[in-house]
Structure 1
Amino acid sequence: MFGGIHGVLDLIFWVLAIGAFIMSAWALVHALRTPARSFAVTGKQTKKLWTIILGVATLFAFAAAVGYLSTLSIFTIASVIASGIYLADVRPAVREIGKGGNSGPYGPW
């Protein structure tokens, strides 16, 4: 099944495609669980737009993981970029909104 150098490369790209799917799905679940108000307050587009972007990204990453789409297609790469932007920029910003509570200058107390 995975004989020779091409088999090893196919296995590596398949594992990367699975990782891209997991990353996209994680970002999508986080976006769905985050209140829409958090996106508006932080100025990071809207929840609806991010769920559409991440939903499409998850679809393309899944298609690459199951072999329907090439693992190095532009759509797979775009799904990794979209999920990466969400997880690196948007998620930390919207996660801070709504924590509230008793918070002092050095953290919650």
Structure 2
Amino acid sequence: MFQIHGVLDLIFWVLALGALGLCVWALVHAVRTPARAFAVAGKLKKQIWLLILAFATLFSFAAVVQYLPTLSIFVIASVIGSGIYLADVKPAVNEIGRGGSGSSGPYGPW
């Protein structure tokens, strides 16, 4: 017999897995980015973003292992926090890393 409840559980588990991937991606980028880039870009300190993204990864992992409900406020907040980092902070700090220094030629660094 076809059970819609099982299919919905699978869909929400896949969504939680996607949220975990998003949070891990943001956390790894924040760890690899120098702290100076955050200050130069005018964003929050690196330590604050690492704290936000670490908790976001923790909550989304808890949703994947079904310790938290998939649609809990913590999981939704972790997706929002990671999304803000990836949409606003990541492009700003990436521009600092490649920014207009005179040592770069038309085909790469000299």
TM-score, scaled to structure 2:
0.89
1:39 aligns with 2:41: no
Q: Distance in 2 between matches of 1:48 and 1:92?
A: 18
Q: Distance in 2 between matches of 1:48 and 1:7?
A: 40
What does the per-residue CA deviation read over 1:11-66, in whole Å, with 9 as the maximum and x for residues that have no partner?
00000000000100110000000000000001111000000000000000000001
Where do residues 14-25 of structure 1 align in structure 2 (5 Å cutoff)? 14-25=13-24
Give 1:85 shift: 0.2
Aligned structure 1 segments of 4 or more residues deviating by more than 3 angstroms:
none
Q: Distance in 1 between matches of 2:94 and 2:53?
A: 17
Q: CA RMSD in A?
A: 1.6
TM-score, scaled to structure 1:
0.90
Flag structure 1 segments of 5+ consecutive residues without an equivalent.
none
- Please name the residue that 1:81 is paired with: 80
- Please name the residue that 1:102 is paired with: 104
Give 1:98 shift: 2.2
- Please name the residue that 2:52 is paired with: 53
Give 1:102 shift: 1.8
1:93 aligns with 2:92: yes
Flag structure 2 segments of 5+ consecutive residues without an equivalent.
none
Residue identity over aligned pairs, in percent, reads 66
